[in-house]
Structure 1
Amino acid sequence: MSVAVASAPSRWKSVTLWVVRGLLALAFAAAGGAKLYGVPMLVEEFQHIGLGQWFRYLTGSLELFGALLILVPSLAAFGGLLLACIMVGATITHLFVIGGSPVPALVLLTLSAIVAYTKRSQFALFAIAP
Structure 2
Amino acid sequence: MTAIAATQTTAAVQPGKVRNRVLWTLQIVLGLFFVIASGGPKLVMPQTLIENNHTAASISLGLLVFIGLAEVAGGVGLMVPRLTAAAASGLAIVTFLAAGYNAFLAQTPELAPFPLVLSAIFVWIAYERRASLTALGALIKR
TM-score, normalised to structure 1's length?
0.81
TM-score, normalised to structure 2's length?
0.74
- Does the CA-based 8 Å contact 1:46-1:52 persist in structure 2? no
SS at match of 1:55: helix
1:123 aligns with 2:133: yes
Q: What count of residue pairs does the alignment treat as equivalent?
A: 121
Structure 1 residue runs without a partner (length 5+): 1-8
Partner of 2:18: 12
Question: % of aligned pairs identical?
Answer: 26
Partner of 1:58: 66
Superposition deviation, residue 123 in structure 1:
2.6
Alignment partners' CA distance in 1, 2:102 and 2:63: 15
- More deviation, 37-46/24-33: 37-46
1:34 aligns with 2:49: no
1:106 aligns with 2:116: yes
Alignment partners' CA distance in 2, 1:115 and 1:10: 14
- Does the CA-based 8 Å contact 2:39-2:72 persist in structure 1? yes
Give, as a single letter, the amino acid of the residue that structure 2 aligns with 1:118.
Answer: E
Superposition deviation, residue 52 in structure 1:
1.1
Alignment partners' CA distance in 2, 1:17 and 1:28: 16
Alignment partners' CA distance in 2, 1:48 and 1:28: 25
Give, as a single letter, the amino acid of the residue that structure 2 aligns with 1:99.
Answer: Q
Structure 2 residue runs without a partner (length 5+): 1-14
Across the aligned residues of Structure 1 and Structure 2, the Cα RMSD in angstroms comes to 2.5
Give, as a single letter, the amino acid of the residue that structure 1 aligns with 2:21.
Answer: V
Alignment partners' CA distance in 2, 1:59 and 1:116: 20
* CA displacement, residues 37-71 of structure 1 (integer Å, 9 cap, x when unaligned): 22677314398544411000000011000001110
Partner of 1:82: 90
Give, as a single letter, the amino acid of the residue that structure 2 aligns with 1:77.
Answer: A
- Does the CA-based 8 Å contact 1:47-1:53 persist in structure 2? no
Alignment partners' CA distance in 1, 2:118 and 2:60: 24
Alignment partners' CA distance in 2, 1:90 and 1:31: 12
SS at match of 1:45: coil
